[in-house]
Amino acid sequence: VVGSTNDRLRALADDGAPAWTVVLADRQSDGRGRRGARWVSEPGCGLWMSVLLPAEPSDGTVPLRVGVAVARAVERVCPGVPVGVKWPNDLLVDGRKLAGVLCEAVGAQVVAGIGVNLRLPDEGFDDDLIESATALEVAMCKRIERNGLAASVLSELRAWMPDVAGVDLFLEELAMRHVLHGRAVEGPDGLRGTAVRVMRDGGLEVERADGSRVPVYGGRVRLASH
């Protein structure tokens, strides 16, 4: 049990831990997502892990590369379950959130926090998650072995880091999974338009109704309400 796997790994990194150091927890008492959102991480219900990546913190593609790696890892251990990537850091199955990624800079490296819902908590998801979240056992109807998934995630992470997989190969893989592509979205500062593509620097390009295109970096983007 830790407060947050990211916080624990940041402390280890500050003490000189090498790249590819991993923290795994059975439960997080203070798990979090982007912008401080609470991440429910009950005992035995998910893969809660953080990995110290040898990646440039300024590389905006890193969180999405982590997302691609996790998506591929899930599909390796759960054949037949297609996993989509929602810019900038969510993974979806059947339109519901299965996993999230939280990348944080620490010195010249990146702490990549990964949370994957493997099974429902005994009392189910909280009311605010019932309609938006899912777990692998819901999609697969079978028990998923946590350590096997962790090993698969680490293998895929090594294959999709910037020093291994070039940006063109990464963008090609991402394009096949990006759930916002071609869909109407809403973004920060009243932005509305169509998600066109993820750019080479990791930004999301959105085309407005007047045909102009604007990049979005780090802001919350969601499917447009009708």
Mean pLDDT, range 102-125, rounded to an integer: 88
Quote the pLDDT of residue 144.
84
Please compute, for residue 164, the number of CA atoms within 13 A of its CA located in the half-sphere on the CB side: 13
What's the mean pLDDT in 175-183?
95
Report pLDDT for 224.
Answer: 87
Using CA atoms of 162, 167, 173, 178 in order, give the dihedral in degrees to the nearest 10: 100
pLDDT digits (tens, 9 = 90+) for 201-214: 999 999 999 999 99
Residues 217 and 58: their CA atoms lie apart, in Å, by 12
Residue 151 pLDDT = 97
Whether the link from the prior residue into 88 is cis, omega within 30° of 0, is: yes
